[in-house]
Amino acid sequence: MELAVREVAPKNRKPRQKDESKLGFGRLFTDHMFEMDYHPDKGWHDPRIVPHHPLSLDPASMVLHYGQEAFEGLKAYRGKDDGVYLFRHRDNLKRMNNSCKRLVMPELPIDFISDCLKKLVLLDRDWIPTSTGCALYIRPNIIATDPFLGVRPSSTYLYYIILGPVGAYYPEGFNPVSIYVSDKYVRAVVGGVGDAKTAGNYAAGLLAQKEAKDKGFTQVLWLDAIERKYIEEVGTMNIFFKFGDEVVTSPLTGSILPGVTRDSVIQVLGKWGVKCTERNYSIGEVIAGLKDGHVTEVFGSGTAAIISPVKSIQYKGQDYQVGDGKTGPLSQKLYDYILSLQYGQQEDTFGWTERIDL
Ligand code: COI
């Protein structure tokens, strides 16, 4: 397949936010995007980089009614050497294909998409922020486009990638966040689509998220849907608890998103000789540990959230502070280390970081 490129004339390019402390998350978009169509007779075809533009969709498009879609979130980083780096981007593309399988959508050719994604990022490379913690967020999305109101998998699809410069995901910046344990709502159940990155999982979480926000919390901590007991994940990140010398996170049972940053944390802890166990653990165990001081650190992991320390947890109306409420030493060390890998500033023994501008 031949990639067509239609560039925005330099005089028509958008002004950029110069103050990177004001970037926030997900509000600004670059000049270009990637698109490609799927038709059962042609497969994936007509790949193109074009100006970022509104989509024109039939109002009957199946994605708008039945949510048949999958997306990804990854980032391009600008190193101190001005190099442009991607971090484990093929793992995101592979995860997207797993989401596609679950949502009965055609898989993407990973090598080709990887090439197109790099070309797109390099075309908009001037948008990549330079401050640590800021990056160019990359959002691939695949949507069902048949104009049809019966319930079945669509036969046509649009795949696109948009880009935007981002800073911290949470309004707290990189400071510790407070989370609220929902025992009223659930996010996903084993056998459902909880381990696919698909819009419905996020829509299902909005009411609990709103209630948490109204009560002054940053995010919701989800429990398992059957017993409402075991820790699963937080709204936009996986979650880790440090019990004494052991770090614990939930296993990938099928209802949890298999985070690329989650896997990186597990591997980095292994390299450092810190015991990290994937096991079921209950909210009761967490509360007991917070009360008697056995739980010393709690942090989330995600592409958008990076490593996000948690300062307090509310469960059944009771607030529990984590340690002294400040970022713990292990969370800080992980944040610094993973960021330095992502920005190409650390010898990468894992082979995760790829410089793409040479
Ligand atoms: C990411 O971490 O990239 C995500 O996709 C979370 C997102 C829903 C903001």
Pocket test for ligand 1, best of 303, 307, 338 (most atoms within 8 A of CB): 303
Token pair recorded at residue 114: 């990887």
CB 196, CB 258: distance < 8 Å: no
Confidence label for 183 from pLDDT (cuts 50, 70 and 90): confident
Q: Taking 80 as the threshold, does the pLDDT of residue 174 lie above it? A: no
Strand partners, 159: 36, 142
Q: Which atom of ligand 1 is nearest to the CA of 197?
A: 5
From CA 24, how far away is CA 167, in angstroms rounded?
5
- When pLDDT is averaged across residues 336-340 and rounded to a whole number, the result is 95
CB neighbours of 271 closer than 8 A, spacing ≥ 6?
A: 349, 350
Residue type, 231: I
Please provide the average confidence, as pLDDT, over all residues in the chain. 96
Spell out which residues line ligand 1, taking CB within 6 angstroms.
73, 202, 236, 302-304
How, if at all, do strands 238-243 and 295-302 pair?
antiparallel
- When pLDDT is averaged across residues 125-129 and rounded to a whole number, the result is 97
Interval between CA 243 and ligand 1 midpoint (Å): 27
Which residue from 349, 343, 266 is spatially nearest to 81, judged by alpha carbons? 343
CB 260, CB 252: distance < 8 Å: no
Token pair recorded at residue 329: 């030493």
pTM for the model: 0.96
Structure confidence by residue, pLDDT tens digits, 207-245: 999 999 999 999 999 999 999 999 999 989 999 999 999
Domains of the chain: 4-166 (3.30.470.10), 177-342 (3.20.10.10)
- When pLDDT is averaged across residues 169-195 and rounded to a whole number, the result is 91
Q: At what angle do helices 89-102 and 110-123 cross, to 10 degrees?
A: 130
Backbone angles phi, psi at 276, to 5 degrees: -130, 120
Which range among 55-64, 106-115, 165-174 shows the weakest confidence by mean pLDDT?
A: 165-174
Interval between CA 305 and ligand 1 midpoint (Å): 8
